[in-house]
Structure 1
């Protein structure tokens, strides 16, 4: 009988060894997978932050002379804008492009399309996007915002 007891102990020992081996293999797999995920975020996901361009730094505000734009039905819009330049602007910004965009955007609009502040803000956001795009050259943004300094509808 003594021989039978030692066989049971050997069988339990081999089962315990297998369990330990499985636990060790699972732990190693988790560590390797975790290391791989960590390496991915460290090397690949972090590189997208480096490629993001930095926020432009505001510089001088360049006021432009007011212009009068023809609206629909014989109405007029007297509008003056100012361009918020950035430190990337190497020289004084010429307002000709911006004024041309203002004329193109506001010409022949209905008075009702400019009557509320919400509508004016929507037009201003669209104008700002167009002006910034027009002045942007080779990833350099010399203009970052457009301000209405005069806005009179007649």
Structure 2
């Protein structure tokens, strides 16, 4: 009996790839390139950069108030609230209450210490941003007089 050898095709030779395998690799490479290109486009063109910074609206000037300090001194302060563009009819009573709470009973020397007014202003601004739920973005001292 003679052995018949199976017909050999050119694709079975070592070093050559079948057309099916090369098509799969091509499709895989194209898919990877498309995914990378899509991710790049998202990052550079359409990515949501997170919460947007509020846009400044009008400044609401409040009436001045007197706050009792320690040792029979007082502070006369007039606040101005920097509102956001979206703010609608902001009531200044919450801001005045927060200022009274923050300043009441403090020694006048502490208020006049270098940098302390800026620290208290930052603390008051943070409190107002939370209290007004984003309608107030900053606070200014339009008047700050101690006696």
TM-score, normalised relative to structure 2: 0.67
Aligned with residue 75 of structure 1, among 70, 73, 89: 73
Q: Distance in 2 between matches of 1:33 and 1:112?
A: 67
Q: CA deviation at 1:86?
A: 2.1
Matched residue pairs, number?
131
- Higher-helix-fraction structure: 1
1:142 aligns with 2:127: no
Q: Distance in 2 between matches of 1:79 and 1:117?
A: 18
Q: For residues 105-124 of structure 1, what are the structure 2 equivalents within 5 Å?
A: 105-124=102-121
Give 4+ residue runs of structure 1 displaced > 2 Å after superposition.
Answer: 32-48
Measured at CA, do residues 41 and 111 of structure 1 come closer, stay the same or move farther in structure 2, by a change above 3 Å? farther
Q: CA deviation at 1:106?
A: 0.4
Measured at CA, do residues 66 and 36 of structure 1 come closer, stay the same or move farther in structure 2, by a change above 3 Å? same
How big is the alpha-carbon RMSD for the aligned residues of Structure 1 and Structure 2?
Answer: 3.4
- Counterpart of 1:90 in structure 2 is 88
Measured at CA, do residues 43 and 112 of structure 1 come closer, stay the same or move farther in structure 2, by a change above 3 Å? same
Q: CA deviation at 1:123?
A: 0.5
Measured at CA, do residues 55 and 89 of structure 1 come closer, stay the same or move farther in structure 2, by a change above 3 Å? closer
Q: Distance in 2 between matches of 1:86 and 1:69?
A: 27
TM-score, normalised relative to structure 1: 0.65
**Paired residues of 1:70 and 1:77 also in contact (CA < 8 A):** yes
- Counterpart of 1:3 in structure 2 is none
- Unaligned ranges ≥5, structure 2: 1-30
**Paired residues of 2:70 and 2:106 also in contact (CA < 8 A):** yes
- Unaligned ranges ≥5, structure 1: 1-31
- Counterpart of 2:122 in structure 1 is 125
Measured at CA, do residues 38 and 72 of structure 1 come closer, stay the same or move farther in structure 2, by a change above 3 Å? farther
